DNA sequence: TATGAATGAGCCTTCATTCAT
DNA sequence: AATGAATGAAGGCTCATTCAT
């Protein structure tokens, strides 16, 4: 068994904390407001088709105000990514706290992942679609959140193998990609589907199939 | 067993046929040239960052010429999608010809899928990344190729269930998504990875895992 | 001999006086601070490229504070001009006090002119470059300081002609422009030169050449 | 005596020629049209207050067309400068051709200088005012045309000194600045004056004064 | 068919100015 | 008097698309 490396056990990351501390509550609200508006518009119109002025209008601020909180339009997308990532990591940390059984860890990870995306469709669209639109963002995406996520899965798989519960001939890294890919596909399908079913409910099904496939 | 619904058994679709018949061989070449150039640039710079003029230059034609073959910049992306899709369906049709074993059908489908993407990295990038950048394209994507593909998988799974080889409590549609998601993830990982391994080699591994998970 | 027309013999101009009287010493300091900061930034970045916020930061005050002392960004430039002009006129008045020899008056005028510019490079840049950037400022400039200055030179030249020391066939107004132009060029050259020589030292040389040219 | 170093004796400079050759007459006209319009607007409104769209409208083209011929708004100003400089150098070359008397050379230089500026008031304004508005342009200005010009004057002065016609105790470089400054001032005065007198007529007067001042 | 110069709508971003605190 | 967050008009520049040749 190992400690899940992708979970910061200390306090919240500096960036997020640093940004909030020096600003008033009012200011923090405005930043959030803009980020929420950007998420909504990027999701519904696409990053390139959404205009900064639209984001500002949606947030109820002037166009120039956006640039008091963000450096550029790109920075909006990156900030959505980073903020969501930090929150996601925190949620995962809490979900895994005290859980040592590797299969249960996989179950929790999958559930938290789909739950979070399933709670905010706009956010899910930005993550599943917009953030992947150019290699620039894609690489940023894949080199951070994805890595942490895959490592967490991989470690749980390796633990299960060590415990003799999973077949050893499958590479844990490969298995992690398979599981992540399946979950990711569930999310993308959910976004594109017109039916409004509960995304999180599929977490267990996916893990069941995966665990069955990995079991000796 | 079922007829593989996603494979057109009739003549080529009207759009492609209509365009090719009245035009000279030379013209067909130019259209191909432009499409190839667009694939390359969309893949390397992203759809919105690639300019029509760049595509034209890459293809060795004037900017205006692009509009003799395509209606708009969007049409370029759509045409890449459609052409590739038709070729892919044809390849799948040939790969499945005479194969009745459902598991083998799954294996062939996965192999053809990854083989095709693995042969042309630029094309793979356009399919895995660019085509998904806006819900506009994404919906077109998911309503056609993806449907055909998922149906083909679903049917094979259902056949395997009917034959008693796969567990019946798993919905074939759901299982199809899982398998497709895993394959899709392999493709996306391959694109983002710096290592130049053979993508197609992973087809069997993914199917192995899937089949094991589905087997009674 | 004549009274040097460009020297105000009455009280200080209303604008400056009006502003200073009702305000505290502390306030006057802040106004000076802002003006000094504006001079520095206008000189180093150019009027249009220097932002009001930069000026405020340089002065150590908030952006809004600038507008408590000045009506607009233009007003900053105009105020620099007016303040410097008033100080320059006062300096000239003192330099010419009790000097009746017309050639010596020219010498003193030239010296004071170049001395003042030579003491503050930033101020010199604003005067020689920024103030002339648009006809709006240029006309203001040429209709006031320049006129006073040219009149002072012209009168001294006329005096010298009356005294039989300068050739009479040269128009005093024309001669004044020539001398001013030569001095102005010295100032502009000094600003643009990388060498840090004493600008004021050239005053005598210029006047020597001029006097020699004018002498019968 | 020496050959006036700043005058290219060969064919026109490559840049100007190179730009015109590959383009059609029609194209060359359009570039000229835009440059003429820019000169007019920069002169009348100031560089920063003139909008690119205004320049385009004045030239009778669309806004985007400006960017087919120039890289940026700055490039417009630089191009005005460079083109005028090349033309001016060519005019000077022709004016000095076959003239060996140094004083006559000075006379011709001064005449050509003021004649050219006096022929196109807008161009004169751009040169005397707009081009000097920021150190960026100013340095470009002073490091090229001004240098060539000052060198030409300096060389003529040195020749006159060698010939025993000018006093030797005055540095030729210094004398050149004085003469240039006087001419420059004439140009600036002419621009700012409301009277529409002939600028070129002052060339001789300035040179007379200068020569008299330099003569032994 | 092919060209590529021309178009002009559109958008990100800046920054002088205001005003609630 | 002082602040600095907020404003929003303005403008430089891009680029998909057209059309005369």
pLDDT digits (tens, 9 = 90+) for D33-45: 999 999 999 999 9
Kindly tell me if the per-residue pLDDT of D152 is higher than 60.
yes
Kindly tell me if the per-residue pLDDT of D206 is higher than 50.
yes
What's phi and psi for B50, nearest 5 deg?
Answer: -85, 130
Task: Name B60's Cβ contacts closer than 8 Å, sequence gap at least 6.
Answer: B33
Picking from D143, D27, D145, the residue whose alpha carbon sits closest to that of residue D80 is D145
Picking from A55, A57, A53, the residue whose alpha carbon sits closest to that of residue A77 is A55
Query: Residue D184 CA to nucleotide E13 C1', Å?
Result: 39
pLDDT of residue A94: 95
The span from the CA of A136 to the CA of C63, in Å, is 37
Kindly tell me if the per-residue pLDDT of D94 is higher than 60.
yes
Query: Residue D84 CA to nucleotide E4 C1', Å?
Result: 29
Counting the structural domains of chain B, the total is 1
Q: Do D184 and C182 touch (CB under 8 A)?
A: no
Chain B residue with CA closest to A46: the answer is B134
Asked whether strand E has any atom less than 7 Å from the CB of B26, the reply is yes
Per-residue confidence at C37, pLDDT binned at 50, 70, 90? very high
D contacts of C177 (beta carbons < 8 Å): 182, 185-186, 189
In a domain, B6, yes or no: no
Interface test with D, best of C49, C125, C133, C208 (most D CBs within 10 A): C133
Chain D residue with CA closest to C192: the answer is D139
The span from the CA of A176 to the CA of A146, in Å, is 11
Nearest nucleotide to A70 (CA to C1') is E13
pLDDT of residue A146: 77
Asked whether strand F has any atom less than 7 Å from the CB of B45, the reply is no
List subunits contacting chain C, requiring 3 or more Cβ pairs under 8 Å: D
Chain B residue with CA closest to A45: the answer is B134
Burial annotation C37-50 (CB, 10 A radius, 16+ → b, else e)? bbbbbbbbbbbbeb
Chain C interface residues (partner D, CB cutoff 8 A): 44, 46-49, 125, 129-130, 132-136, 138-139, 142, 170, 174-175, 177-178, 180-186, 188-189, 192, 202, 205-206, 209-210, 212-214
Q: Which domain does B187 fall in, by range?
A: 16-214
| Average confidence (pLDDT) over C176-195 | 87
pLDDT of residue A66: 98
Kindly tell me if the per-residue pLDDT of A143 is higher than 80.
no
Q: Do C48 and D183 touch (CB under 8 A)?
A: no
Cβ neighbourhood burial of B69 (10 Å; 0-12, 13-18, 19+): buried
Residue C37's CATH number:
1.10.357.10
Asked whether strand F has any atom less than 7 Å from the CB of B53, the reply is yes
pLDDT of residue D135: 65
Average per-residue pLDDT in chain B?
Answer: 85
Closest residue to E4 (CA, C1′):
B62
Between D51 and D8, name the one with better pLDDT.
D51
Per-residue confidence at C5, pLDDT binned at 50, 70, 90? very low
The helix, strand and coil proportions of chain A, stated in percent and rounded to the nearest 5, come to: 75, 0, 25
C contacts of D125 (beta carbons < 8 Å): 135
User: Are A56 and B56 contacting, i.e. CB atoms less than 8 angstroms apart?
Assistant: no
Which nucleotides on strand E sit less than 7 A from a protein beta carbon?
A: 1-20
- pLDDT, tens only, C12-26: 333 433 443 344 455
In a domain, A67, yes or no: yes
Per-residue confidence at A127, pLDDT binned at 50, 70, 90? confident
Please report the sign of the dihedral spanned by the C-alpha atoms of residue B13, residue B14, residue B18, residue B21: positive
Q: Do C132 and D135 touch (CB under 8 A)?
A: no
Between B11 and C109, name the one with better pLDDT.
C109
| Average confidence (pLDDT) over A157-177 | 95
Per-residue confidence at C99, pLDDT binned at 50, 70, 90? very high
List residues bridging with D130 in a β-sheet: none
The span from the CA of B8 to the CA of B95, in Å, is 14
Per-residue confidence at D11, pLDDT binned at 50, 70, 90? very low
Interface test with D, best of C126, C143, C153, C182 (most D CBs within 10 A): C182
Dig out the tokens for B51 from the structure.
């300019």
The span from the CA of A37 to the CA of C147, in Å, is 59
pLDDT of residue D134: 67
Angle, vertex CA D186, rays to CA C161 and CA C144, nearest 5: 80
Per-residue confidence at B134, pLDDT binned at 50, 70, 90? low
Minimal Cβ distance to A185: which of B44, B180, B189 = B180
Q: What is the DSSP string of C21-68?
A: TTS-HHHHHHHHHHHHHHHHHHHHH-TTTS-HHHHHHHHTS-HHHHHH
In a domain, B108, yes or no: yes
Chain D residue with CA closest to C122: the answer is D135
Percent of chain A whose pLDDT exceeds 70: 85
Q: Do D46 and C133 touch (CB under 8 A)?
A: yes
A contacts of B133 (beta carbons < 8 Å): 46-48, 129-130, 132-134
List residues bridging with B166 in a β-sheet: B215
In a domain, A195, yes or no: yes
Q: Do C46 and D130 touch (CB under 8 A)?
A: no
- pLDDT, tens only, B1-46: 343 333 333 333 344 434 433 444 556 789 999 999 999 999 999 8
pLDDT of residue A12: 37
Minimal Cβ distance to D177: which of C132, C139, C189 = C189
Distance from CA of D182 to the nearest CA of C (A): 5
Average per-residue pLDDT in chain C?
Answer: 85
| Average confidence (pLDDT) over A142-152 | 82
Per-residue confidence at D189, pLDDT binned at 50, 70, 90? confident
Determine the 3-state secondary structure of B215 from DSSP.
strand
Nearest nucleotide to D49 (CA to C1') is F11
Q: Do D184 and C189 touch (CB under 8 A)?
A: no
Asked whether strand E has any atom less than 7 Å from the CB of D68, the reply is yes
Q: Do A129 and B130 touch (CB under 8 A)?
A: no
Chain B residue with CA closest to A190: the answer is B177
Cβ neighbourhood burial of A26 (10 Å; 0-12, 13-18, 19+): exposed
| Average confidence (pLDDT) over C49-73 | 97
The DSSP symbol for C131 reads G
Q: Do C205 and D139 touch (CB under 8 A)?
A: no
Between B190 and A22, name the one with better pLDDT.
B190
Cβ neighbourhood burial of D96 (10 Å; 0-12, 13-18, 19+): buried
In a domain, C93, yes or no: yes
Chain D residue with CA closest to C141: the answer is D192
Average per-residue pLDDT in chain D?
Answer: 85
In a domain, C183, yes or no: yes
Total Cβ atoms within 10 A of residue D85: 19
pLDDT of residue A23: 41
Q: Do B185 and A181 touch (CB under 8 A)?
A: yes
In a domain, A5, yes or no: no
Q: Do C133 and D206 touch (CB under 8 A)?
A: no
The span from the CA of D41 to the CA of D109, in Å, is 28
Query: Residue C115 CA to nucleotide F2 C1', Å?
Result: 37
pLDDT of residue B18: 40
Kindly tell me if the per-residue pLDDT of D7 is higher than 70.
no
Picking from D74, D71, D70, D48, the residue whose alpha carbon sits closest to that of residue D59 is D70
Percent of chain D whose pLDDT exceeds 70: 85
Q: Do chains A and B touch (3 or more CB pairs under 8 A)?
A: yes
pLDDT of residue A129: 82
| Average confidence (pLDDT) over D19-46 | 77
Q: Do A125 and B136 touch (CB under 8 A)?
A: no
Determine the 3-state secondary structure of B18 from DSSP.
helix
Interface test with B, best of A114, A133, A157 (most B CBs within 10 A): A133
Interface test with C, best of D43, D135, D166 (most C CBs within 10 A): D135
Q: Do D133 and C205 touch (CB under 8 A)?
A: no
In a domain, D1, yes or no: no
| Average confidence (pLDDT) over B176-200 | 88
Minimal Cβ distance to D210: which of C48, C139, C213 = C213
Distance from CA of C210 to the nearest CA of D (A): 6
pLDDT of residue A159: 97
- Most confident residue range from A110-119, A189-198, B192-201, D134-143: A110-119
What's phi and psi for C215, nearest 5 deg?
Answer: -70, 140
User: Are A81 and A131 contacting, i.e. CB atoms less than 8 angstroms apart?
Assistant: yes
Chain C residue with CA closest to D141: the answer is C192
Asked whether strand E has any atom less than 7 Å from the CB of B18, the reply is no
Q: Do B178 and A182 touch (CB under 8 A)?
A: yes
pLDDT of residue D3: 36
Kindly tell me if the per-residue pLDDT of A10 is higher than 50.
no
What's phi and psi for A72, nearest 5 deg?
Answer: -160, 175
């Amino acid at each position: 068994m190992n400690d899940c490396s992708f979970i910061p056990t200390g306090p919240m990351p500096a960036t997020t904390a640093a940004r909030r501390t020096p600003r008033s509550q009012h200011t923090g609200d405005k930043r959030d407001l803009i980020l929420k508006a950007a998420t909504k518009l990027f999701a519904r119109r696409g990053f390139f088709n959404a205009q900064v002025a639209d984001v500002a209008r949606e947030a109820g601020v002037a166009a120039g105000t956006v640039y008091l909180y963000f450096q550029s339009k790109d920075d909006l997308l990156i900030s959505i990514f980073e903020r969501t990532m930090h929150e996601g990591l925190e949620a995962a940390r809490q979900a895994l706290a005290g859980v040592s059984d590797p299969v249960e860890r996989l179950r929790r990870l999958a559930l938290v992942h789909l739950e979070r995306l399933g709670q905010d469709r706009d956010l899910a669209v930005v993550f599943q679609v917009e953030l992947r639109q150019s290699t620039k963002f894609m690489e940023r995406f894949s080199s951070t959140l994805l890595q942490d996520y895959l490592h967490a899965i991989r470690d749980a798989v390796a633990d299960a193998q060590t415990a003799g519960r999973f077949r050893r001939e499958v590479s844990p890294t490969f298995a992690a990609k398979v599981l992540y890919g399946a979950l990711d596909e569930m999310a993308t399908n959910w976004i594109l589907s017109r039916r409004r079913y509960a995304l999180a409910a599929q977490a267990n099904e996916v893990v069941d199939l995966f665990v069955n496939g990995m079991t000796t």
